[in-house]
Amino acid sequence: MVKAPKIQLIEWTDTFAIEDEWYTINTKHPARHILTCGYLVGEDDQYVHLATTFDRDSETYSVAIAIYKPCIQQRTTIAPKGFH
């Protein structure tokens, strides 16, 4: 049985929809600060891929998200070696 990938907590700024209302030009809209925690199942130059579920027997994952790296504010490794 393989070891699960390391688990990371990522704080990032998300895009958001602005309500269907009337606004004046230059109205400030607060950013959405998101915390996502999961198994680090992939990473490339643009994205970090986290999954909430990992199957050690088949070495597959499910329910994943790709977070755009320029949106990331902070990354913290929760379990550096995964689980046995």
- For residue 1, is it within any domain? no
pLDDT digits (tens, 9 = 90+) for 25-84: 999 998 999 999 999 999 999 999 999 999 989 999 999 999 999 999 999 999 887 666
- Tokens found for residue 69: 């790296």
Give the per-residue pLDDT at 10: 98
* Total domains, the chain: 1
Give the per-residue pLDDT at 2: 80
Give the per-residue pLDDT at 3: 84
The domain of 67 spans 7-79
- For residue 39, is it within any domain? yes
Q: Which helix (H) or strand (E) holds 74?
A: strand 72-79
pTM of the model: 0.85
Give the per-residue pLDDT at 16: 87
- For residue 53, is it within any domain? yes
Give the per-residue pLDDT at 84: 61
The 10 Å CB-count burial string (b at 16+, else e) for 2-20 is: eebbebbebebeeeeeeee
- For residue 84, is it within any domain? no
